[in-house]
Structure 1
Amino acid sequence: MNLLKTLCLIPQFPKVLTFIAMRKILNVLILLFITVRAFSQPDFSVEKPEVIIEGVPTEISLHFDDLPTSNTVLINGSKYTINSNEKTAVVEHKFSSDDEQLSVQAGTTTKTSPINPISLWLSIVPPLLAILMALIFREVLTSLFLGIFTGTAIIGYHNDGLAGIGSGFLSIFDEYVIGALNSWDHLAVILFSMTIGAVVTVISKNGGMQGVVNRISKKAKTAKGGQLATYILGISIFFDDYANTLVVGNTMRAVTDKLKVSREKLAYLVDSTAAPIAAVAFVTTWIGAELGYIQDGVNTIPQLSEGAYSIFLNSLSYSFYPIFTLVFVLMLILFQRDFGPMLKAENKARKTGEVLSESSNMANSELEEFERKEGIPMRPINAIIPVLIIVLGTIIGLFYTGWDSQIWQDESLGLTRKLSYIIGQSDSYTSLLWSSLTGLVVSILMTIGQRLLSLQEVMDSVVGGYKSMITAMMILTLAWSLAQITQDMHTAAFLKQLWSPELSPVFIPSITFLLAALVAFSTGSSWGTMAILYPLLLPATYQIAASAGFEHGEIMPLFYNVVSCILAGSVLGDHCSPISDTTILSSLSADCHHIDHVRTQLPYALSVGGVAIFFGTLPAAFGIPSWILFPVGIGMLVLIVRYLGKSSV
């Protein structure tokens, strides 16, 4: 103590002591800062989706004010890794029915917000209600609207209670209908469809369509001949299902009307030649999407090095439903037999000449738009040239938008594969827009140039053609809106739960076919079904078969069968669904009441689907060669037509 007092008398000692103390305090502060920094994060905000479904991965977006200091976050107690070099992070988390709030912890900061996850089974209610309402009451606009409202009401109630039902009602227009119209692809379909309607109106008013009817009637003097001509035209326009549907339906309607073929039968011929031929042809607008979906599934199978295009080609030997459908349609025409509701519609048309159902899509005033002006010549060329421009122009547009000189010059690729790649990566919607606009302008110039109609009359016809498609576009827009509801509510995830990986591998193709048909029927989208099921079922098929002791050589036939079944089941479900866009377009292009089209087509589609499963898909999984199964299946279709069908002459 005396020594310390002595040292304190030295003038410099207090300064030294103060300096040492300050150093220690500073070190403590630095250590404290480092410790706090290690356990804290910059402030952040949390963005969660409006729709949270129980048991389905939900994307949670985190936005940090500065780079995060840790690469982990906790969401409702579960740890997730994030990129500490980015200010934004997206984490997928599955919520349970017990979760009442979203809790996100980054370092020492925690953000919470209330949530109320929707039970997954509720996701099937909106599309199921819309389908049942449409089939029972035969009024598709109201059915689609109620389906959409049911979905928005469920979402609104889970977010805001009873008050959310009102906000859900308001969101029908400002979120879902506007969302459907805010898609470039959807707007292109609307504009193309309405322009096709305008072309048909102009070539009807200027006598060109009547000239075609008269010319074809000389060759096709019977209902059988008219249906056969429709079938051949449908097969010929194989490159795009939308172009097929709109061109064939609008072009052949006047011909089949004169030959007393019901509008229901015309809609069936159009619908059952469009998607089936587009799905299996080598050069179509479908091929690019199909190959992309297949590749997504193949990428997760390390044992498989085969390319997507080769897999697609090998799967064609198992494409029973699309091929059987094309054969079945031809049989109905050649044997002149029908059954079920279609037989009643055909008998009515033959006996009374009334091809329209009691509730046609068009009013009489709208049908007058398609009547020829009296006193003008009926020249088939005035209709043939615009239609050919639309068909050939679409093909040229597909090549132009998809052209790739490197692919074309690649000597390792055959001609078919080159064409498939080019068409597959083309922009079909742009091609359709270009071709329809050119066809409309040419039809107008030909009409005015021959002085068949005045400029005022031509433009009135154009406006009338656009107006005639308003109902069609309303239905299509609501169908797209309902499809968005099913996507937001993860309806497909509910349907996927029906899949059981414990089943024997030989039953996988048949169950895949049924599951794909169910998903397409419920969502109204064959492309959406393929996008969902290919990445899910292709790796599952390979893994299940391998686990069951199958060798690679034994797995591949089963694998090709599953690839085909996803596509075939998607087309079947699309054919049966009242909310499918191609089904809607088929009925509208034929001016057949939409529910009448679904009701008359359903027995045919289910009959072919049953034959495809029991005489194609299932025995093929047991190893029976396709060259045996195709003749057997076609033989069964012959028996169905001959013994169930009755003459509709």
Structure 2
Amino acid sequence: MDNYGILSLVPPLLAIVLAWRTKEVILSLFIGVFAGAMLMADYNPLVGFMETLDKYMLGSLSDSWNAGIIVFLLAMGAMIGVINKAGGVWAIGEYVARKAHSVKNTQFATWLMGIFIFFDDYANTLIVGNTMRPITDKMKISREKLSFIVDLTAAAVSSIVPISTWIAFEVGVIRDGLNAIGVEQSAYTTFVQTIPYRFYSIFALVFALILIYTARDFGPMYKAEKRARLTGRVIRENSTPMVSKELEAIGKPEGRSFNIFDSFLPIFAVILVTIYGLWYNGGGTSPDKTIWQAFGDADASIVLLWSSFAGILVGGLLALIKRILSISEIMESIIDGAKSMLIACMILLLAWSIGGITEDLGTANYLVSVLAGSIPPFLVPVLLYIISGFIAFTIGSSWGTVAIVMPLAIPLGFSIGVPLLPTIAAVLTAAVMGDHCSPISDTTIMSSTASAVDHIDHVSTQLPYVLIVGAVALLIGFLPAGFGVSWYFLLPLGVIALYLIVRSIGKSVKEEDLLIS
């Protein structure tokens, strides 16, 4: 029996429903794995529970690749902790603030800061929102607009750059999917190749730039911007701004602190070691190999381990040499930073586990047998995009969505004959889109908190923008990509469409009429 029939859908569907109802992604994924393990154990709950822990969860960690990715994630958190403790976060914010002298420049500085802090979406959200809020308030930019830019850049950037806390998760689930279909190719290389097909993430970043440089908005966001400029009220009257105690942890330390160059030096170290490490580990010293062949043959989990510890080492030594932090303070910041990655590590571990369950149950085989003759191959990326976006919206978790859908998406697309790159990208970028729409998303809540805006105001002003960008990504991106159309043509077309939309329905709040002090 190559699959358990309709029962093989129980683990992922149960995880989806529970995550939607309880909003607890980790618990929902665990129950999904347990349900699958119990099916494999002939409905014996005791055996199912034991196999959930040892065969699937512990088994996932026993894989050297997976273990390396977990350590990388913890190390990246540790590096961020050192940079923050040494005042690097404050230094980045101060540098950007000095460049902002107008409404347009301030919004662009906020967007640019969101791009620069690409290594983690949580750090991005807290740093950008907290740092730029006093500046945007002074320029009479609505908190709704601030939170929109903060929210938009955080996950959209972190999910597509080759160096971030997201890469461990995304490369891990891609690797599992490729192994499930027996394809021998580098998961890291595949990840990089999907970047141009992340239509929503790329279009969202460009869309924000279009809004900034045309000085146009529409819908609820236009009303918020008009209120802020005309009356000076950056938040709606009678609203309830969210404020987080976490923000108190971000600030300038007493005495010495990192400058802007110091702040990015550990990140540069991570980037350089990753590039060199991929070349070296993949056999780049051989004269017969090109750089890209070496990158494809490299073990990314080992290389990312090298690079993340290089970042910790550079950050720690710099803080010690400049007498900013003592050894005990460096160790404390490393531990605190690593702790911040605990939830991400748990989701990743359970993502691997539910992937193993669906493989053992033959979920992909069952779906292929049901859908192969009923879904046109060109519609697979579109359907995966819609389904993933909806799941992310309902459960409020990008990672949880990818963990549930990706183990099914890659085998399904491969068996039906759909190009894998847009298929994988559809799941990854739709998870970000649904997360941006969801009022229960952690990053959406954190954006409201860091920007000190009413959460419902943030969601209601952002939603029309996300839906428009999402529709363009669907119609101009994934629909033609399903026919094999290259991203070379689709990305420029999508940007043009977004520009025309903003120009046709957007309205301008003219700065010269608003007496900005």
Q: What range is the shorter-chain TM-score in?
A: 0.5 to 0.7
Where does residue 302 of structure 1 map in the other structure?
none
The CA deviation string for residues 337-374 of structure 1, in whole angstroms up to 9 with x for no partner, is 7789999999999539xxx98597xxx4x665544432
Where does residue 398 of structure 1 map in the other structure?
278
Contact kept, 8 Å, 1:250 with 1:590, in 2: the verdict is no
Tell me the CA shift for residue 389 of structure 1. Answer: 1.1
Where does residue 383 of structure 2 map in the other structure?
514
CA distance in 2, matches of 1:165, 1:338: 55
CA distance in 2, matches of 1:496, 1:369: 50
More helix by share: 2
Change (3 A) 1:272 1:464: closer
Which of 126, 137, 150 pairs up with 2:14? 126
Specify the code of the residue in structure 2 equivalent to 1:524. A
Which of 423, 428, 432 pairs up with 1:566? 423
The CA deviation string for residues 196-243 of structure 1, in whole angstroms up to 9 with x for no partner, is 222222222223332232122212466513333145537xxxxxxxxx
CA distance in 2, matches of 1:529, 1:629: 26
Matched, 1:331 2:214: no
Larger deviation: 198-207 or 609-618? 609-618
Contact kept, 8 Å, 1:194 with 1:469, in 2: the verdict is yes
Specify the code of the residue in structure 2 equivalent to 1:186. N
Change (3 A) 1:468 1:623: closer
The CA deviation string for residues 416-454 of structure 1, in whole angstroms up to 9 with x for no partner, is xx3332222222222222122122122222222222233
Contact kept, 8 Å, 2:216 with 2:502, in 1: the verdict is yes
CA distance in 2, matches of 1:529, 1:605: 26
Change (3 A) 1:435 1:623: closer
Contact kept, 8 Å, 1:389 with 1:435, in 2: the verdict is yes
* Residue segments in structure 2 that go unaligned for 5+ positions in a row: 134-142, 392-400, 436-440, 512-517
Is the partner of 2:116 in helix, strand or coil?
Answer: helix
Change (3 A) 1:439 1:627: closer
Tell me the CA shift for residue 620 of structure 1. Answer: 7.7
Specify the code of the residue in structure 2 equivalent to 1:200. I
Matched, 1:233 2:178: no
Change (3 A) 1:525 1:322: farther
Contact kept, 8 Å, 1:512 with 1:566, in 2: the verdict is yes
- TM-score, normalised with respect to structure 2: 0.67
Change (3 A) 1:210 1:487: same
Contact kept, 8 Å, 2:41 with 2:48, in 1: the verdict is no
Where does residue 610 of structure 1 map in the other structure?
471
Tell me the CA shift for residue 566 of structure 1. Answer: 1.9
Is the partner of 1:57 in helix, strand or coil?
Answer: coil
More strand by share: 1
Where does residue 273 of structure 1 map in the other structure?
157
Where does residue 364 of structure 2 map in the other structure?
492
Contact kept, 8 Å, 2:88 with 2:258, in 1: the verdict is yes
CA distance in 2, matches of 1:625, 1:157: 42
Count of residues paired in the alignment: 454
The CA deviation string for residues 30-54 of structure 1, in whole angstroms up to 9 with x for no partner, is xxxxxxxxxxxxxxxxxxxxxxxxx
Contact kept, 8 Å, 1:264 with 1:342, in 2: the verdict is no
Change (3 A) 1:126 1:469: same
CA distance in 1, matches of 2:48, 2:148: 36
* Residue segments in structure 1 that go unaligned for 5+ positions in a row: 1-55, 59-94, 96-116, 235-243, 300-308, 411-417, 542-561, 579-583
Contact kept, 8 Å, 1:495 with 1:519, in 2: the verdict is no
CA distance in 1, matches of 2:222, 2:60: 37
Is the partner of 1:404 in helix, strand or coil?
Answer: coil
Contact kept, 8 Å, 1:576 with 1:602, in 2: the verdict is no
Where does residue 57 of structure 1 map in the other structure?
2
Output the aligned Cα RMSD: 5.2
Matches within 5 A, 1:419-568: 419-497=291-369, 499-501=371-373, 508-515=377-384, 518=387, 524=403, 528=407, 531-538=410-417, 562=419, 565-568=422-425
Change (3 A) 1:119 1:259: same
Q: RCO higher in 1 or 2 (8 Å CA, sep ≥ 6)?
A: 2
Which of 183, 194, 199 pairs up with 2:63? 183
Contact kept, 8 Å, 1:208 with 1:382, in 2: the verdict is yes
Which structure has the greater CA radius of gyration? 1
Contact kept, 8 Å, 1:576 with 1:601, in 2: the verdict is no
CA distance in 2, matches of 1:448, 1:624: 52
Specify the code of the residue in structure 2 equivalent to 1:351. I
Specify the code of the residue in structure 1 equivalent to 2:383. L
CA distance in 2, matches of 1:475, 1:601: 27
Where does residue 637 of structure 1 map in the other structure?
498
CA distance in 1, matches of 2:196, 2:323: 54
Tell me the CA shift for residue 259 of structure 1. Answer: 0.8
Contact kept, 8 Å, 1:369 with 1:465, in 2: the verdict is no
- TM-score, normalised with respect to structure 1: 0.55
